[in-house]
C-alpha cells in the first residue's frame, strides 16, 4: 500500500464556542477515524485550510469575522473537492438552505444528535475521496500515451506498452496471445500505429469467420478462371497490405492446407494467387493473434510446428484483467468518459461503492466485459451517480457473468438496515440471474430448481427488474 493511502482523512471544525469545539473533536475523531483540526473563526479556518487542505469541513454559520456562507465560498475557490457540512442555530434555517444552494453537502440544526453528525461527516469524507480520486484518474487519462490504446499503471501493462513500442520499430513477425477480451487487436493496432507503416491502413483478417476455400482466395487472391465463379482477377489481402501490416486474428483456426501456403509467404516474402503459376513479391508485416493453446494444437497435428516458430519470432502475452486489477478504476473512468460523451450524459460519476464493486467482481470476459458493463450502466443509470445496483442490473445481459460472492460486504456503507437491504438485493439479484441462465429463461423451471413457488419467484423478478426474455 502506498504511503498516501495510509494517511488519515482530515476534518476541520469551525465554531466560535471552544467548549463545543472540543466536544465535537472528541466525538468525530473517535468515531470517524480521522485527524481533527479546530478553528474558532472563519478567517482562522481559511488559513488552516490553505495549508492543511482538509477532506471535510464542519462549520457554524453565525461567526463574527467571516460567516459560514462566505467561508464555504472561499473553501470552494480554494479546493472544490473539499466537502463542507454546516451547523445552524435557531433562526438561521434560511441561511442553511442558502448554504446548500451554494454547494454545502449537508446541514444540521443545533442541538443535534451525535450519531447523525458523525454519519454526515463519514459521507462527506467518502465524497471528497471520490472527487479527488476522479480528478487524479482524469489527470492520468490525459497523460496516457494516445497511440497504444492501453490504459493502466500496473507493472504488466507498463511492460506490455514498452514492449509494443519496441516492437513497432522493427518489421519482425509478432504473435500476440491472451484470453478473449484482453485487447489483442488493440495491441496489434498499437504496433502498427507506432511503426513506419502507419501511413497505410492495417488489414485485419478474422480467420475463423471464413471457410477454407474462401480464406485461401481472400488471402492470396486469384486469377480469372481459377475456379467456378472467378470471372475476373482479384487481388488478395496480402497484396492489399503490401507496404503495411496484416493482422491474422485467431490464427489457430486456420486450416492446415492454408497454413502451408502461409508458411511460404513468411519464408519467401511472396504469394501465388490461385490459378497463377508466377509468384508476386510482397512487403507485408504479419501480426498473428490467438486465445488458444497452440502447443496443444501442434501435439494433435492441428497446427504446423514450423509455422508456429515463424510466427513466434516476437511473442507478446497480454495479461487478463484479474492480473491487472489495480487498473480497473482507471479503465472504468476512461470507459465512463467515452460513453457519457456518446450518450450525452456528461457529469455522470461512479460512487465509491461502485468502484469497489468493480474491483471485487470476477471478469471472465476481461476488459471487453468491463467495457460492456459500463456501457450498459451508463445508458441505463437513472441518476447522476452509477451505483453497484446499476452495475448489477447490467450483469444479466452479459453471457460472461458468473455469480458474484455475496458474503463480502466491504463495499457497503451506512447504517445496518441499509447495509442489510443492499446485501439482500445483491444476493437475490445474483441468485435469480444464475437460476434463469441455467433454465434458459424458463421461469417455471428456475423456480422449481430453486425450491421457490413460481409466483413468489416472479414477484422477486419484478422487484429487481429482471426479465426472463433476457435469458432466452
Cα separation of 207 and 219, whole Å? 10
Question: How confident is the model over 43-59, as pLDDT tens digits?
Answer: 999 999 998 889 999 99
- pLDDT bracket for residue 244 (50, 70, 90): very high
Q: What is the mean pLDDT of the chain?
A: 85
Reported as type and span, the H/E element at residue 176 is strand 174-177
Residues of the chain with CATH 1.10.8.60: 322-471
Question: What per-residue confidence (pLDDT) applies to 389?
Answer: 83
> Where is pLDDT greater, at 240 or 384?
240
Q: 231: burial class by Cβ within 10 Å (0-12, 13-18, 19+)?
A: exposed
Cα separation of 147 and 161, whole Å? 10
Question: How confident is the model over 267-289, as pLDDT tens digits?
Answer: 999 998 888 888 999 999 999 99
Region label for 269, one of left (φ > 0), alpha (ψ between -120 and 50) or beta (otherwise): left
List strand residue ranges (DSSP E) for 208-291, in order: 245-249, 270-271, 280-281, 285-290
Question: How confident is the model over 5-35, as pLDDT tens digits?
Answer: 446 889 999 998 888 899 999 999 888 889 9
> Where is pLDDT greater, at 1 or 401?
401
DSSP 20-70: HHHHHHHHHHHHHTEEEEEESSHHHHHHHHHHH--SEEEEES--SSS-HHH
**CB-based contact 330:151 (threshold 8 Å):** yes
Q: What is the DSSP letter of 274?
A: B
Reported as type and span, the H/E element at residue 109 is strand 106-109
Cα separation of 61 and 110, whole Å? 11
Reported as type and span, the H/E element at residue 417 is helix 416-438
List of residues 6+ apart from 434 with CB closer than 8 A: 403
As given in the structure block, the three cell numbers for residue 3 are: 504511503
The hierarchical CATH code for the domain 3-142 is 3.40.50.2300
Residue 4 has pLDDT above 60, yes or no: no
Residue 142 has pLDDT above 60, yes or no: no
Residue 400 has pLDDT above 70, yes or no: no
% of the chain surpassing 90 pLDDT: 40
**CB-based contact 180:366 (threshold 8 Å):** yes
Residue 38 has pLDDT above 70, yes or no: yes
What CATH fold (topology level) applies to the domain 322-471? Helicase, Ruva Protein; domain 3 (1.10.8)
Question: What per-residue confidence (pLDDT) applies to 1?
Answer: 38
**CB-based contact 107:87 (threshold 8 Å):** yes
Q: Which residue has the cell 502475452?
A: 317
The pTM of the full predicted model, rounded to 2 decimals, is 0.61
78-82, 156-160, 417-421: least confident range? 417-421
Residues of the chain with CATH 3.40.50.2300: 3-142
**CB-based contact 206:250 (threshold 8 Å):** yes
| Averaged pLDDT for residues 62-89 | 88
Question: What per-residue confidence (pLDDT) applies to 147?
Answer: 61
- pLDDT bracket for residue 172 (50, 70, 90): very high
Tell me phi and psi for residue 320, to 5 degrees.
-70, 160
Question: How confident is the model over 324-375, as pLDDT tens digits?
Answer: 999 999 899 989 989 999 988 888 888 878 888 898 888 989 999 999 999 9
The CATH number corresponding to 155-317 among 3.30.70.580, 1.20.1090.10, 3.40.50.300, 3.30.365.10 equals 3.40.50.300
Cα separation of 13 and 194, whole Å? 53
Question: How confident is the model over 415-455, as pLDDT tens digits?
Answer: 566 666 667 777 787 788 878 878 878 888 888 888 878 88
Residue whose C-alpha is closest to residue 285's, from 405, 216, 192, 404: 192
Cα separation of 422 and 388, whole Å? 9
Amino acid at each position: 500500500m502506498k504511503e498516501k493511502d495510509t494517511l488519515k482523512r482530515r476534518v476541520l471544525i469551525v465554531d466560535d464556542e471552544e467548549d463545543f469545539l472540543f466536544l465535537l473533536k472528541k466525538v468525530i475523531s473517535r468515531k470517524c477515524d480521522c485527524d481533527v483540526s479546530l478553528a474558532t473563526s472563519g478567517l482562522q479556518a481559511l488559513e488552516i485550510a490553505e495549508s492543511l487542505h482538509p477532506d471535510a469541513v464542519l462549520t457554524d454559520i453565525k461567526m463574527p469575522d467571516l460567516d459560514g456562507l462566505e467561508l464555504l465560498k472561499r473553501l470552494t475557490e480554494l479546493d472544490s473537492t473539499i466537502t463542507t457540512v454546516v451547523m445552524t442555530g435557531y433562526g438561521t434555517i434560511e441561511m442553511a438552505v442558502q448554504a446548500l444552494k451554494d454547494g454545502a453537502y449537508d446541514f444540521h440544526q443545533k442541538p443535534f444528535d451525535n450519531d447523525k453528525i458523525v454519519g454526515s461527516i463519514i459521507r462527506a469524507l467518502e465524497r471528497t475521496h471520490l472527487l479527488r480520486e476522479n480528478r487524479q484518474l482524469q489527470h492520468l487519462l490525459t497523460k496516457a500515451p494516445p497511440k497504444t490504446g492501453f490504459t493502466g499503471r500496473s507493472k504488466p501493462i507498463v511492460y506490455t506498452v514498452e514492449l509494443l513500442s519496441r516492437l513497432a520499430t522493427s518489421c519482425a513477425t509478432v504473435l500476440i496471445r491472451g484470453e478473449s477480451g484482453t485487447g489483442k487487436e488493440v495491441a496489434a493496432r498499437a504496433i502498427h500505429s507506432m511503426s513506419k507503416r502507419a501511413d497505410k491502413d492495417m488489414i485485419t483478417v478474422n480467420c475463423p469467420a471464413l471457410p477454407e476455400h474462401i480464406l485461401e482466395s481472400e488471402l492470396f487472391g486469384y486469377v480469372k478462371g481459377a475456379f467456378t465463379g472467378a470471372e475476373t482477377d482479384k487481388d488478395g489481402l496480402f497484396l492489399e497490405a503490401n507496404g503495411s501490416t496484416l493482422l491474422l486474428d485467431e490464427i489457430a483456426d486456420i486450416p492446415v492446407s492454408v497454413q502451408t501456403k502461409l508458411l511460404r509467404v513468411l519464408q519467401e516474402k511472396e504469394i501465388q494467387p490461385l490459378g497463377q503459376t508466377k509468384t508476386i513479391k510482397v512487403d507485408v508485416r504479419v501480426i498473428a493473434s490467438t486465445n488458444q493453446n497452440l502447443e496443444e494444437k501442434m501435439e494433435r497435428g492441428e497446427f504446423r510446428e514450423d509455422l508456429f516458430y515463424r510466427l513466434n519470432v516476437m511473442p507478446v502475452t497480454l495479461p487478463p484483467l484479474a492480473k491487472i486489477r489495480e487498473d480497473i478504476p482507471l479503465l472504468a473512468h476512461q470507459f465512463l468518459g467515452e460513453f457519457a460523451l456518446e450518450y450525452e450524459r456528461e457529469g455522470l460519476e461512479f460512487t465509491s461503492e461502485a468502484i469497489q464493486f468493480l474491483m471485487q467482481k470476477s471478469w471472465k470476459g476481461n476488459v471487453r466485459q468491463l467495457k460492456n458493463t459500463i456501457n450498459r450502466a451508463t445508458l441505463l443509470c437513472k441518476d447522476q451517480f452509477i451505483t453497484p445496483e446499476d452495475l448489477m442490473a447490467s450483469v444479466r445481459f452479459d453471457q460472461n457473468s458468473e455469480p458474484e460472492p455475496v458474503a463480502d460486504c466491504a463495499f457497503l456503507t451506512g447504517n445496518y438496515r441499509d447495509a442489510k437491504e443492499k446485501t439482500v438485493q445483491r444476493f437475490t439479484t445474483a441468485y435469480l440471474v444464475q437460476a434463469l441462465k441455467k433454465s434458459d429463461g424458463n421461469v417455471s423451471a428456475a423456480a422449481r430448481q430453486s425450491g421457490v413457488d413460481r409466483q413468489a419467484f416472479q414477484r422477486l423478478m419484478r422487484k429487481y427488474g429482471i426479465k426472463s426474455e433476457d435469458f432466452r
